[in-house]
Amino acid sequence: MKGPRYSAAELLARLVHFDTTSHRSNLPLVRFVEDYLAQHGIASELVASADGAKASLYATIGPTAVPGVALSGHTDVVPVDGQSWSSDPFVLTERDGRLYGRGSADMKGFLACVLAAVPDFRRRQLSVPIHLAFSYDEEVGCIGVRPLIAELGRHLTRPRVVIVGEPTSMSVVDAHKGPVRWHVDIKGRAAHSSMAPLGVNAISVAGKLLGELARIEQELMTAPRDSRFDPPYATLQVTRIDGGTATNIVPVSCRLDFDIRALPSVDAAAIDRRVRAFADKECLPAMRQVASESGIDITIANQVPPFAAGNGSEAVALALHLTGHNETHAVSYATEAGLFQEAGSPAVVVGPGDIAQAHAADEWIAKDQLDRCMAFLTRLGDWAERGKPIR
């Protein structure tokens, strides 16, 4: 079957044109990819979101009964709201060897390269199959890939290795931090501020919690460091706070959010237990003495596992083989790699473009990054055809 052939840049222009900001549907993009793959004789499996507005796509090129190499990427992009762009963010625009557009680096550039490589993968007699795994809602906490991962080993073939094509400038990333985000809702009791003892001041309670969070932050900073990361320790930041009603009212409520960027060695569950224990022992008894309805509600809003490929990872060995590099890197941003790894598929992160351009106004990718990624995928095709052991 002879389907259409496009360059990576041409496909990137098509992909960028779909406004797949995370809060919008990605289905038009998914339908485009499904149709393109169908023209090459490749069937797609869609894993829809609960409301049906979005879907992940999974497809296999080559033998279907054997686990292969998954090329994984997210289809969604971050918003352009409030950013000042020199050209339309959803129209790929070339200036000085750079391709500008929302998602060009993060990470439609990789998706475009993968799609551009499909005809080459298709013409080969692959002994190791190549899977495409395109997700949604990555930018809002790696949400969309989870239902897809849940289908691996059931409805979908579990990949032998996963290459996550987040922008690493085509260097090999084998570890990243994992963000954990908490919401804390403090409920006190309102009172006239002249009659303070009748109320429970939710902001004062938040202050006590802030003190404990600052102590945890210090402890994380002084814990054994991992110099591969920048910064070389887990960070804790209170990222939002909102409370109070008026200057003469004891505040009835306060809400705060905090975020930890955990090293693979950090036990986020232990920190969660510690914060809850502090609230239960150091805050709640005094609050309840005044107002029985007082409460502190602590929830983990989102958690993406940190990623550490570990020694002897087949995914890392393959990525080093394909890039010709002999060293790996650790990064502080999160990807879907930790989730794949946790689910039993060794993962590695390598993709075109620079993370420095991701999420920024005038996001761009250098054309030569697309060329380097295409060369990487050609070598992957060579390897998958021969099916030799990596080491």
**Annotated active-site positions, please?**
76, 138
Minimum distance, C-beta of residue 261 to Zn ion, in the bound complex (Å):
16
Residue nearer to Zn ion on the CB measure, 107 or 384: 107
- Candidates 112, 175, 204, 190; CA nearest to 330 is 175
Give the separation between CA 77 and CA 357, rounded to whole angstroms: 13
Minimum distance, C-beta of residue 92 to Zn ion, in the bound complex (Å):
17
| Cα atoms in the Cβ-side hemisphere of radius 13 Å centred on 209 | 32
Residue nearer to Zn ion on the CB measure, 72 or 294: 72
Minimum distance, C-beta of residue 67 to Zn ion, in the bound complex (Å):
25
Give the separation between CA 379 and CA 373, rounded to whole angstroms: 10
Minimum distance, C-beta of residue 359 to Zn ion, in the bound complex (Å):
9
Minimum distance, C-beta of residue 352 to Zn ion, in the bound complex (Å):
12
Residue nearer to Zn ion on the CB measure, 32 or 333: 333
Tokens of 148: 């897809």
What distances in angstroms separate CA 185 from CA 157, 279, 381, one per listed residue? 42, 11, 52
DSSP string, 359-377: TSTT-EEEHHHHHHHHHHH
Q: Looking up tokens 């705060």, which residue turns up?
A: 256
Q: Where along the sequence are the contacts to Zn ion (CB under 5 A)?
A: 106-107, 166
Residue nearer to Zn ion on the CB measure, 166 or 226: 166
Residue nearer to Zn ion on the CB measure, 317 or 337: 337
Taking CB atoms within 8 Å and a gap of at least 24, the contacts of 201-205 are 201/250, 201/251, 202/243, 202/244, 202/251, 202/252, 202/253, 202/254, 203/243, 203/244, 203/251, 203/254, 205/254, 205/283, 205/287, 205/296
CB count in 10 Å sphere of residue 76: 24
Minimum distance, C-beta of residue 125 to Zn ion, in the bound complex (Å):
33
Residue nearer to Zn ion on the CB measure, 77 or 377: 77
DSSP string, 297-354: EEEEEEE---EE--TT-HHHHHHHHHHT---EEEESS--THHHHHHTT--EEE--SS-
Residue 60 φ/ψ, nearest 5 degrees: -125, 130
